[in-house]
Structure 1
Amino acid sequence: MKVYAISDLHVGVSSNRAALDVLPAYPDDWLIVGGDVGETEEQLDYALSILTQRFAKVLWVPGNHDLWTVPANSETALRGEPKYRALVDICRSYGVATPEDPYPLWNEQVVLAPLFVLYDYSFRPADIPEEQAVAWAAETKVVCSDEYVLHPDPYPSRQAWCQARLAYTEKRLAAIPATHSIVLINHFPLRQEFARVYRIPRFSIWCGTTQTEDWHTRYPVSVVVSGHVHVRATDYRDGVRFEEVSLGYQRDWKQEKGIQAYLREILPGPGKPAQQPATQWYR
């Protein structure tokens, strides 16, 4: 039995949706879905109706797109925490593990920990105050759509929602016995260095929080799984394997290879190398 991971399926894109339709079955294996399945409850429901038939178990974490309220001017559409809870309910209807559920145990010794940790604009230069971060990004004509369609209700800001999620998650992680190994799963990178937004570098402020920089050493972590930036890679830091597992938009992957070519094996995985290798990129 293996555990695979993929994120950023973006099934609202017709080619991605078509590729998901023909994804082969892996009846003995588990799948981690690292967020950005789509923008609506219907898209998540559609994707899970397929994935839960192709894999023995599925785990899910939300991405920023999943949390969007579209259309933005709808008076009846769910926003913020209520939207998130509705997504969790959809997952539970399929038996999919979420950040609100007990962490699944793999082979009796590895804890798979789906997380929902947002961002707080702290992935920015030290001389840029937080209150100026969005304006700083906008100077290069970069403003994330989250500013218009990812609402933090009932929290006063996305930063406040992020703080609440950090406190909730840290409490849960601290309760995991040190005898276990943990796979941390979050849509956003947990370290700023992995916010690899080379074409639009100031987009980094929407990519995570510096408060998770040391989580891979604070807890007994063996692997960290993330997506969001659409730059697939494997890295090692402090003996911990970091996997960016995005699929992305049409420009980000080769449709002729199929989604199955982009499933990353997380467990058992390649094992720890004797020396930390250079970054391994995936095209």
Structure 2
Amino acid sequence: MKFGVLSDIHIDINERKLAPGQSYDSLLAEYLYHNEIDVLLLAGDISSDYRESLAFLDKMKNHRVSKILFVPGNHDYWSIRNKETDTNKINLLFNEREESLVANPFIVNDTYAVVGNPGWYDYGFASNKYTEEEFEAKKLRVGGWNDRLYVHWGKSDRDVSREMLAQIEKDMEKVADKRVVLMTHVVTHPQFIVPLPHRVYDYYNAFLGSRSYMTLYDKYPITKSVMGHVHFRKTLVEDAITYYCACLGNGRHWYTDDPVSELAYTIETFTL
């Protein structure tokens, strides 16, 4: 079975890169078809509005090309236009989708399964020169982390991170006899954050991933790990685990102005 890996499409931000008549769902479906990809692992941040992200999943389903396995990213929880202020409600909408991996591991074959969860940040990758209260504020000098405006869990980030980690572990137990492909939106390895010290990311690394999730690699037979969020395009092999971060990212950082080329540069594949 051939898998594709992609994250952070940001179809709303990158809309200006499209030619007349193009759409990201059609371009992606065409790529999946021509490259004979059976399953696409889509690691979050389709757009910055949950309804637009849900609509994109519907469009991909209607193309009837590849099976989509999805976990939402932090931007997918946003609701700027719709003014939804209950992120838990939005999360439930995503978890009810047939594409969702949360509490629903995908059995690949007798050997492999895919376990997925958006994950959430626990501040663990940031410098310890800041306090938890400063991280919770999500605002540093003139800048800020915009989840403070658009994500409303009703609990602390660390509590959300712990709850999502607990769900991952429950799902790991469901496939205890399998080797695992793990997919999260947030990063779970320090090689995918900005190296410290750094005058800005000493603070902002707090929101890129969860250091506590690193324990998963010691406890479970994870052979591949898919991440997104950071807009890197990077693959790392370490201790017999292959880590993928295949983010299309913001168009202003692309190598070209062509979304077809950028999708081709970004998507990683593997076979199980």
TM bracket (short chain): 0.7 to 0.9
What stretches of structure 1 of length at least 5 have no aligned partner? 269-283
Query: Distance between the aligned counterparts of 1:205 and 1:46, measured in 2?
Result: 31
2:87 is equivalent to residue 87 of structure 1: no
Alpha-carbon deviation of 1:105? 1.4
Question: In structure 2, do the counterparts of structure 1 residues 58 and 130 end up closer, same or farther at CA, with 3 Å as the change threshold?
Answer: same
Whether the 8 Å CA contact 1:106–1:112 is kept in 2: the answer is yes
Whether the 8 Å CA contact 1:19–1:255 is kept in 2: the answer is no
Corresponding residue for residue 227 of structure 1:
228
Whether the 8 Å CA contact 1:230–1:248 is kept in 2: the answer is yes
Query: Aligned with 1:152: secondary structure?
Result: coil
Range that drifts further, 202-211 or 9-18: 9-18
Corresponding residue for residue 106 of structure 1:
108
- With normalisation by structure 1, the TM-score equals 0.81
1:256-267 matches, within 5 Å, as: 256=258, 257-267=261-271
Question: In structure 2, do the counterparts of structure 1 residues 199 and 100 end up closer, same or farther at CA, with 3 Å as the change threshold?
Answer: farther
Alpha-carbon deviation of 1:258? 4.6
Q: Deviations over 1:185-216 (max 9, x none)?
A: 00000123312387942321111221112322
Corresponding residue for residue 75 of structure 2:
65
Query: Aligned with 1:265: secondary structure?
Result: strand
Alpha-carbon deviation of 1:173? 1.5
Query: Distance between the aligned counterparts of 1:192 and 1:133, measured in 2?
Result: 18
Range that drifts further, 207-216 or 181-190: 207-216
Query: Distance between the aligned counterparts of 2:239 and 2:123, measured in 1?
Result: 25
Alpha-carbon deviation of 1:85? 0.8
Whether the 8 Å CA contact 1:97–1:104 is kept in 2: the answer is no
Corresponding residue for residue 100 of structure 2:
97
Letter of the 2:128 counterpart: A
Alpha-carbon deviation of 1:252? 2.9
Q: Deviations over 1:149-198 (max 9, x none)?
A: 11113xx2222222222222223223432x42101100000123312387
Corresponding residue for residue 18 of structure 1:
23
Q: Deviations over 1:60-109 (max 9, x none)?
A: 0010001113248x3xx2521111112233x33xxx233132x1111331
What stretches of structure 2 of length at least 5 have no aligned partner? none
Query: Distance between the aligned counterparts of 1:199 and 1:57, measured in 2?
Result: 42
Query: Aligned with 1:229: secondary structure?
Result: coil
Letter of the 2:102 counterpart: P
RMSD, aligned CA:
2.5
Query: Distance between the aligned counterparts of 1:260 and 1:175, measured in 2?
Result: 34
Q: Deviations over 1:17-63 (max 9, x none)?
A: 73443331426511011000112233123322332325331100010
Whether the 8 Å CA contact 2:111–2:178 is kept in 1: the answer is yes
Query: Distance between the aligned counterparts of 2:199 and 2:249, measured in 1?
Result: 15
1:173-212 matches, within 5 Å, as: 173-177=172-176, 179-196=177-194, 200-201=200-201, 202-212=203-213
Question: In structure 2, do the counterparts of structure 1 residues 47 and 135 end up closer, same or farther at CA, with 3 Å as the change threshold?
Answer: closer
Whether the 8 Å CA contact 1:30–1:55 is kept in 2: the answer is no
Aligned residues: 256
Whether the 8 Å CA contact 2:50–2:77 is kept in 1: the answer is no
Query: Distance between the aligned counterparts of 2:248 and 2:173, measured in 1?
Result: 31
Question: In structure 2, do the counterparts of structure 1 residues 131 and 212 end up closer, same or farther at CA, with 3 Å as the change threshold?
Answer: same
Letter of the 1:184 counterpart: L
- State, as a whole percentage, how many aligned pairs show the same letter: 22
